[in-house]
A and B are shown apart, each in its own frame.
Chain A
């Protein structure tokens, strides 16, 4: 099956700094990727849909100026958390749709962000 990687797997940063998370499709091209956020013992909440070559589509309540998404190539999408605060600490997971056309998503391993 398709493989999605994420980097870093975990990161600790100081309040006020920015953190970039990379999501790569390793063996297929992904015109669309999705970014989710998951708090402990909660479900996945879709933050935004990342579209290759165009602007991301953000879900209601997600600040686009705070969570910058760039999808510059068919295999790479990045999420930058700007001016991070402790409340941004969470598990961030990206996914890509099945390149064969089904609705199945392939998820990256996730990035655990801790803001101190």
Chain B
């Protein structure tokens, strides 16, 4: 079945450093969504990408969807302590599959 892997599994960064998580699928994805889940919380939608090669920015967050629509990335510039949590990619239309997640810790 379809699998969506994310790397790295964990990332510890100093406040102010950059952070990137990568999402890779074995099959072509119709879309990609990114969610953030704070410890003890529920996933919160960040963004959705649909087009091949699409790039979207939200302040210090940059999201990319690969040309082949099999991978995606989320890059955070100058991370802040408020950005700790687990970042998931997800894909689907009638039902959804979630990536394995990247747990980010930001050290002050």
Q: How far is the CB of B25 from chain A (nearest CB, A)?
A: 14
Total contacts A to B, CB within 8 angstroms?
A: 49
**How many Å lie between the Cα of A95 and that of B92 in the bound state?**
13
Residue A46 CB within 8 A of the other chain: yes
Top 9 A-B pairs, shortest CB-CB distance: A107-B42, A44-B98, A110-B42, A104-B45, A43-B98, A43-B101, A107-B43, A43-B100, A109-B42
Q: How close is A1's CB to chain B, nearest CB, in angstroms?
A: 8
Residues of A within 8 A of B (CB): 34, 36, 41-46, 49, 57, 60, 93, 95, 102-110
Q: Which residues of B contact A45 (CB under 8 A)?
A: 98
* Contact of A106 with B100 in the complex, beta carbons under 8 Å: no
- B41, A109: Cβ atoms under 8 Å? yes
Rounded to whole angstroms, the CA-CA distance of A93 and B103 in the bound complex is 19
Complex Cα distance, B37 from A43, in Å, reads: 10
Q: Is the CB of A34 within 8 A of B96?
A: yes
Contacts A49-B94, A49-B95, A105-B96 known; A44 to B43 CB distance under 8 Å?
Answer: yes
Query: Interface on chain B toward A: helix, strand, loop, or mixed SS?
Result: strand
Q: Is the CB of B98 within 8 A of A106?
A: no
| CA–CA, A43 and B93, complex, Å | 19
Contact B48 A93 (CB under 8 A): no
Contact present for A41 and B103 (CB under 8 Å): yes
Given contacts A43-B99, A103-B96, A104-B33, 15 further A-B pairs with CB under 8 A are: A34-B95, A36-B98, A44-B88, A44-B98, A46-B97, A49-B94, A57-B95, A102-B48, A105-B33, A105-B45, A105-B96, A108-B42, A109-B41, A109-B42, A110-B42
Question: How far is the CB of A44 from the nearest CB of chain B, in Å?
Answer: 5
18 A-B pairs whose Cβ atoms sit less than 8 Å apart in the complex: A34-B95, A41-B103, A43-B99, A44-B88, A44-B98, A46-B95, A46-B97, A93-B42, A95-B43, A103-B33, A103-B92, A104-B33, A105-B33, A106-B45, A107-B42, A108-B42, A109-B41, A110-B42
